[in-house]
Structure 1
Amino acid sequence: PSNNETEQHSSQVDQIEEEPVRYELPLRTNRDVPPKRYTPEKEARRSRYPMANIAKGNLSPEAQIFTTSLYFEEISTSVEQALESKV
């Protein structure tokens, strides 16, 4: 083989042996920051679909009566009250 062919072959080998350029990810902004699991202020548990967000204008009359009756139901705070209210 001629000298020119060996140079071409060695340059091709050099191109194969080089590591491909890798994309480096940017630094995360939350690295080494613990998740906010425990807060000193206790927050009330919220329902996903609260009753206050119901559009009453779009409900049928029967559904409107049902939703208003929910507000007048008495919620028992103890087992004894619950048993008395069933009777």
Structure 2
Amino acid sequence: MLNLCIETKRLKKINKDYASIDSVLKWILVTCFGYTGYRNAKFGQIQVHERITETSRELLTQIKEMAENIGYGVLHGIVDCLLVIG
């Protein structure tokens, strides 16, 4: 699913018809992520939710360090974005 999402992001730059597919895939992934952390979820597992947030945190830290190494400052970071100044 994630690979399909990455591919549609690439394709929507070439053909705008892929923008709606990209949006649908994004919301499916967002919903799945939220469901994994819901304590009453029939099929959710908190370990999956924790691993997703751990990976996100690791990636944001790496990107923050990359930005700082090339001279940018990082003002703030949350969930899936960094506010960079430079």
User: Under TM normalisation by the shorter chain, which class is it?
Assistant: under 0.3
Q: Which of structures 1 and 2 has the bigger CA Rg?
A: 1
- TM-score, normalization by structure 2: 0.24
Q: Which structure: greater helix fraction?
A: 2
Q: Which has the higher contact order (CA 8 A, sep 6+)?
A: 2
Q: Which structure: greater strand fraction?
A: 2
